[in-house]
Amino acid sequence: ADWKSSLFLLVFLLSLLLENVALRGTATQSTRLLGNTNVLGIAINAIDGNRNSQMMAGSCTHTAQQADPWWRVDLLESYIIDHINIVNRGDCCAERINGAQIHIGDSADWSANPQAGTIDQLAAGDTYSRYYQRDVKGRYVTILIAGADKILSLCEVEVYGSHQNGIRRNLAVFVPLRTLFQMCDVRYSEIKSFICPRGKGN
């Protein structure tokens, strides 16, 4: 279809403007999986540019079991956020992410920032994407699961946005161009949020 050709051209042009800003992004989380002394489960795993959803592959985060676990990326500057992608763990425990809240704002305290999305349910290894059709601005993106005895595990978090000059970039880390095709044959103008199953757009 003509709109698909136009979409391909748009994605290609936007890809030329992507910038690797991993060195400006830092990640933290509320706790870390107890007993681990290596890179398994650390916060930075969610912004390493690797969408592998297998926990033992070393590219996912993992908190301890606790009340209200959270993960946060500090973009080091405030940006207008266009959309975010969140990859769920694929080897087990997919339901743990259900109900996760997304908060975006300029405060390091997530509770002081507006809620900018909720992951109601996400299958193992799937990607949750949220597109914003109004101005959502912030330096900090926090993902939180409210409640007692919860565990938060994320296998990739991508944050796309711009400065006032409108240049789009992945603010957390550079990711392969293929991630931009995860629109699953949905027109951009129709998107607010959607879930893209594994295998589509790859």
Asked, for residue 87, whether it belongs to a domain, the answer is yes
Asked, for residue 88, whether it belongs to a domain, the answer is yes
Asked, for residue 104, whether it belongs to a domain, the answer is yes
pLDDT of 157 higher than 50: yes
Per-residue pLDDT at 172: 61
Asked, for residue 38, whether it belongs to a domain, the answer is yes
Q: What is the pLDDT of residues 45-64, one digit of tens each?
A: 999 989 999 999 999 999 99
Per-residue pLDDT at 34: 72
Per-residue pLDDT at 23: 40
| Long-range contacts, stretch 8-11, CB < 8 angstroms, 24+ apart | 10/188, 11/177, 11/180, 11/181
Per-residue pLDDT at 200: 39
Asked, for residue 191, whether it belongs to a domain, the answer is yes
One-letter identity of residue 113: N
Asked, for residue 202, whether it belongs to a domain, the answer is no
Q: Which of 25-29, 55-59, 121-125, 198-202 has the lowest mean pLDDT?
A: 198-202
Residues 6+ apart with CB under 8 A from 37: none
Q: Which of 60-69, 118-127, 153-162 has the lowest mean pLDDT?
A: 153-162
Asked, for residue 201, whether it belongs to a domain, the answer is no
Full-model pTM: 0.75
The per-residue pLDDT of the chain, averaged, comes to 79
Measure the N-to-C terminal CA separation of the chain; round to a whole number of Å: 20
Asked, for residue 35, whether it belongs to a domain, the answer is yes
Q: Which of 52-66, 73-87, 89-103, 145-159 has the lowest mean pLDDT?
A: 73-87
Per-residue pLDDT at 185: 38
Range list of H helices, 55-173:
none
pLDDT of 21 higher than 50: no
Q: Which domain holds residue 159?
A: 2-196
As a whole-number percent, the residues of the chain with pLDDT over 70 amount to 67
The CATH number for 91's domain is 2.60.120.260
Q: Which of 49-58, 73-82, 130-139, 157-166 has the lowest mean pLDDT?
A: 157-166
Cα 100 from Cα 122, distance rounded (Å): 10
Per-residue pLDDT at 162: 77
pLDDT of 10 higher than 90: no
Number of domains in the chain: 1
